[in-house]
Copies of this chain bind each other. A is one copy, B any other.
Amino acid sequence: MQMPAPDQGIIARRTQISARLSAAVPGAVIDDPTETRAYECDALSAYRCPPLAVVLPRTTQEVAAVLRICHDERVPVVPRGAGTSLAGGSMPTADAVVVGLSRMNAVLETDFDDRFIRVQAGRTNLSVSGAVDAAGFFYAPDPSSQLACAIGGNIGMNSGGAHCLKYGVTTNNLLGVTMVMMDGSVVELGGPMGEAAGLDLLGVVCGSEGQLGIVTEATLRILPKPVGARPVLVGFDASETAGACVAAIIRAGVLPVAIEFMDRPCIRATEAFAGAGYPDCEALLIIEVEGSPPEIDEQLALIRGIADGFAPVEFRESRSEDESRRIWLGRKSAFGAMGQINDYMCLDGTIPVSTLPEVLAGIARLSQEFGLDVANVFHAGDGNMHPLILYNANTPGDLERCEALGAEILKLCVQVGGCLTGEHGVGVEKRELMTAQFTADDLEAQMQVKDVFDPFWLLNAAKVFPLAVSAPRREGLRNAA
């Protein structure tokens, strides 16, 4: 949805704000509308809006200077990591200054004795592991976008990844942050020791989608790399059977490092694209275990014993580095492969693992009802689903139908005891669905906590909460000031 072109009032406002920002952080302000276009959307590219201006600061102090001016001028601010949000978390509004962290990618400290790394928040996820790899360590959360996505965004969305079944999501691996408050003050939350005395404000910040402050530096737990890892590929003749097998593995208490699920539409598209040699079956699981060779053998024997109870059509255990690479190749190519053949919308919801068969059946039913195909490829072990709804962006009405189907699927997740989001956040995409998960009182409590951190609702304020409740609150607070 293209927003209307900026009016004269916005142009005058831009000139005034840009002048103040440029004086405070020289060489860091982008205000030419042709250049700010690069920032008008994130990975939810169906939604676009050019911002008032963009600032790319280099230090915490520069971020503080920018926010002080914006606070003073009551200009809304949209924080941006790498802009990979699939939920519109870093989409601008026309009256907002985007604060992008792409220049803030330094490693500030590594400590292998206490096992942490401190980085600027614009550093990409994969390059955090890269900075400690030679010493034998890694940073566990690994979103699919890990090559591009920034740690600041990971913290905002509480991102997960394939390996989070074993190691937890961002909140379980985040020890502390330096955060700039909207008034420009700088606070430290947590630290290398993690849980501090007093209220867990680090916990409430992680996953707050840039609405409480701008995280500029992060202290992250690093872990020693495992001795070895080995994947197996297990094929099934029905999606529900694969789902039931996942539930059985989790129930038995085996804790693989990853359990990934793909159904037939996804397997076919992937094979055509990457030729990984996957079997042509209804659904497959990629299960990876870690440890020393005897530990790996033992865990895989247990998994085989459980899988055998579900009559798999294939059980392929990797016997070499090359086989392992090929087992993962299809999974890692899945999103690219789907994008080749269709437009798609990637959903993100979580469910109790035991309800996987029921939810897969429900998605199939809804898919028929709405007349749009849904491909499933997701982190099955922790119940984090990513159904891909396939549609044609050039067919009028298809996007709207796709969004309506997406909403129904996410409501199904909530109905079975799950949640609207696993790792992508609520952003713009799901703000109106929040009422499916939370009562008006729940939302009021969450908004009151935002009031404490950001009394004028300037920070990423058009996200997360339904506009019908957040917009009047925002206007009321700003006008009352």
A111 partner residues in chain B, CB cutoff 8 A:
352, 354
| CB of A191 within 8 Å of the partner chain | yes
Q: A224-B252, A354-B114 in contact; A201/B204 too (CB < 8 A)?
A: yes
Beta-carbon contact of B350 and A193 below 8 Å: yes
Beta-carbon contact of A417 and B250 below 8 Å: no
Of the listed stretches A13-21, A23-31, A66-74, A442-450, chain B binds A442-450
A185 partner residues in chain B, CB cutoff 8 A:
441
Least distance between A11 CB and chain B CB atoms (Å): 36
Q: In the complex, which of the residues A115, A196, A383, A421 has the most CB atoms of chain B within 10 Å of its own CB atom?
A: A196
Write the chain B residue with the least CB distance to A423.
B195
Partner of A449, one of B196, B223, B426, B452: B452
Beta-carbon contact of B251 and A201 below 8 Å: no
Write the chain B residue with the least CB distance to A172.
B172
Least distance between A219 CB and chain B CB atoms (Å): 10
CA distance A247 to B191 in the complex (A): 18
| CB of A298 within 8 Å of the partner chain | yes
CA distance A106 to B225 in the complex (A): 43
| CB of A294 within 8 Å of the partner chain | yes
Q: Mark A181-216, 1 if CB is under 8 A from B, else 0.
A: 000010100011101111111011011100000000
| CB of A99 within 8 Å of the partner chain | no
Beta-carbon contact of B197 and A426 below 8 Å: yes
A192 partner residues in chain B, CB cutoff 8 A:
352, 417
Beta-carbon contact of B158 and A195 below 8 Å: yes
| CB of A7 within 8 Å of the partner chain | no
Q: In the complex, which of the residues A192, A252, A350, A453 has the most CB atoms of chain B within 10 Å of its own CB atom?
A: A192
A446 partner residues in chain B, CB cutoff 8 A:
198-199, 201
Beta-carbon contact of B198 and A169 below 8 Å: no
A449 partner residues in chain B, CB cutoff 8 A:
199, 201, 204, 449, 452
A247 partner residues in chain B, CB cutoff 8 A:
113
Q: Mark A415-448, 1 if CB is under 8 A from B, else 0.
A: 0011111000110001000100110011101101
Residues of A near any B CB (own CB < 8 A)? 111-115, 136, 158, 168-169, 171-172, 185, 187, 191-193, 195-201, 203-204, 206-208, 223-224, 247, 250-253, 291-292, 294-295, 298, 350-354, 383, 417-421, 425-426, 430, 434, 437-438, 441-443, 445-446, 448-453, 464
New A-B pairs, 16, CB < 8 Å, besides A171-B200, A200-B208: A113-B250, A113-B352, A114-B354, A115-B250, A193-B350, A193-B352, A195-B207, A195-B350, A198-B426, A198-B434, A199-B208, A199-B446, A201-B204, A204-B204, A204-B449, A223-B253
Residue contacts A-B, CB under 8 angstroms, 11 given: A113-B247, A113-B352, A136-B253, A158-B200, A168-B172, A192-B352, A193-B383, A198-B437, A198-B443, A449-B449, A449-B452
